[in-house]
């Protein structure tokens, strides 16, 4: 008997004595014990394009013996043995361009011994050992240009001891240690070219202690502290010339305390007070010359009370009252030459009643509602 599939003709499977051929699905046919539910003997499956997808034997309903699998383009994908339905013995895998991807050994479904992986261009991808299905000992990973990507050890499948990762150029990217798969102790991250980018402290996989980051020129960029994975204490940022540009506080991972920002020459830019994650208290901002840019109050993260904002040094832009973050009551707005531009009332951020507007030279225009 011949099985005819789109663009392909294959000889029918030869079933062992005491079995029957099951052909109900055009994409699969196999031998089975009488009744057709327990697979026994050879089998074959097909891709949608009619090419063989897999071929191998069954024993008492479980995969057994040598199996082969193919990509849709007809290239061999992987080949190896099963025992009682589990991967067992040597297995080889290939990329769809025909180059080898990896080879290794299984022991009743668990990877064991030395395994080697390859990139599609033939360069090493990774190499190391498995024990009882888990990575063990030193493993090395490479980029497809042949440069190392990471080097480190495993114990029972968890990263252990010092690990180093690299840039594709071969320069180190990170250096640090693991204990049972979790970061521990000091970790250092580099810019490409070996200059330090960050230094951090870890305990049981959580940031714990001081964290510093650096500008590419080597100047300190930021410094902050963590406690059990949460930001805690003062966080400070500097420009690449060493000038402080921002300072804020944290408590248990929530912003708390005074936050200050500065211009590049170190003069104050803005100051806000935070109470456990929400702005609360005086809020002020300054222009580079030190004159007021805005001033007002915050309560539970919303503007409250009387606020003033300025176009520039000494030139008022607007003034009025907020209630729970919305404009309410009388407001005045000004042209950038300091002349009154509009005057009227707000109710919950909406203009209400008659508003009087003025030209930049101070002449009133008709009132608008």
> 119, 143, 117, 118: which is closest to 129 by C-alpha?
117
369 pLDDT tier (thresholds 50, 70, 90)? low
In a domain, 151, yes or no: no
pLDDT tens per residue across span 317-351: 999 999 999 999 999 999 999 999 999 999 999 99
Q: Domain span at residue 41?
A: 1-108
State how many domains the chain has: 1
In a domain, 144, yes or no: no
In a domain, 50, yes or no: yes
Does 81 have pLDDT greater than 70? yes
**Which pLDDT score is estimated for 31?**
94
In a domain, 269, yes or no: no
We report the CATH number of the domain holding residue 58 as 2.20.110
**Which pLDDT score is estimated for 10?**
58
In a domain, 27, yes or no: yes
pLDDT tens per residue across span 203-232: 999 999 999 999 999 999 999 999 999 999
One DSSP character per residue, 52-109 reads EEEEEEEETTEE-EEEEEE-TTS-EEEEEEEETTEEEEEEEEE-TTSSEEEEEEEETT
**Residue, of 61 and 25, whose pLDDT is higher:** 61
Does 5 have pLDDT greater than 50? no
**Residue, of 35 and 117, whose pLDDT is higher:** 117
Does 4 have pLDDT greater than 60? no
> Please, is 345 exposed, middle or buried when counting C-beta atoms within 10 Å of its C-beta (0-12, 13-18, 19+)?
middle
Q: Do 32 and 22 form a contact (C-beta atoms < 8 A)?
A: yes
In a domain, 301, yes or no: no
Residue 273 CA to residue 283 CA, distance in Å, equals: 7
Q: Do 362 and 349 form a contact (C-beta atoms < 8 A)?
A: no
Q: What are residue 368's DSSP bridge partners?
A: 355
pLDDT tens per residue across span 299-320: 999 999 999 999 999 999 999 9
> 83, 27, 90: which is closest to 58 by C-alpha?
83
- Residues 6+ positions from 368 with CB-CB distance below 8 Å: 354, 355, 357
Q: What mean pLDDT comes out for the span 109-119? A: 97
**Which pLDDT score is estimated for 255?**
98
Does 366 have pLDDT greater than 70? no
In a domain, 202, yes or no: no
Q: What mean pLDDT comes out for the span 57-76? A: 96
Query: Cα angle vertex 313, ends 312, 316, to 5°?
Result: 65
In a domain, 128, yes or no: no
């Amino acid at each position: 008997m011949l099985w005819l599939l789109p663009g392909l003709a294959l000889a029918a499977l030869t079933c062992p004595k005491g079995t029957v051929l099951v052909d109900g699905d055009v994409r699969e046919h196999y031998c089975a014990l009488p009744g057709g539910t327990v697979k026994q003997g050879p089998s074959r499956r097909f891709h949608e394009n009619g090419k063989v997808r897999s071929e191998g034997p069954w024993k008492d309903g479980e995969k057994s013996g040598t199996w082969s699998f193919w990509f849709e383009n007809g290239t061999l994908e992987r080949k190896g043995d099963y025992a009682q339905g589990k991967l067992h013995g040597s297995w080889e895998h290939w990329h769809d361009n025909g180059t080898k991807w990896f080879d290794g050994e299984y022991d009743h479904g668990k990877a064991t011994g030395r395994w080697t992986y390859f990139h599609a261009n033939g360069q090493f991808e990774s190499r190391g050992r498995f024990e009882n299905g888990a990575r063990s000992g030193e493993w090395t990973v490479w980029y497809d240009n042949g440069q190392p990507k990471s080097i480190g050890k495993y114990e029972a499948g968890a990263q252990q001891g010092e690990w180093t990762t690299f840039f594709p150029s071969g320069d180190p990217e990170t250096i640090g240690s693991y204990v049972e798969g979790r970061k521990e102790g000091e970790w250092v991250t580099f810019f490409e070219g070996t200059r330090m980018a960050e230094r951090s402290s870890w305990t049981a996989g959580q940031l714990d202690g001081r964290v510093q980051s650096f500008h590419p020129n080597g100047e300190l960029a930021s410094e902050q502290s963590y406690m059990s994975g949460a930001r805690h204490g003062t966080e400070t940022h500097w420009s690449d010339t060493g000038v402080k540009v921002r300072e804020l506080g944290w408590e248990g991972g929530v912003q708390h305390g005074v936050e200050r920002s500065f211009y590049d020459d170190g003069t104050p830019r803005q100051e806000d007070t935070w109470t456990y994650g929400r702005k609360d208290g005086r809020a002020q901002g300054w222009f580079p010359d030190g004159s007021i840019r805005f001033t007002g109050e915050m309560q539970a993260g919303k503007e409250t009370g009387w606020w003033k904002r300025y176009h520039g040094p000494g030139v008022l832009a607007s003034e009025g009252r907020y209630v729970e973050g919305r404009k309410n009551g009388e407001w005045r707005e000004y042209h950038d030459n300091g002349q009154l531009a509009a005057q009227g009332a707000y109710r919950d951020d909406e203009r209400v009643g008659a508003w009087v507007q003025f030209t930049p030279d101070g002449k009133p225009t008709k009132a608008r509602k």
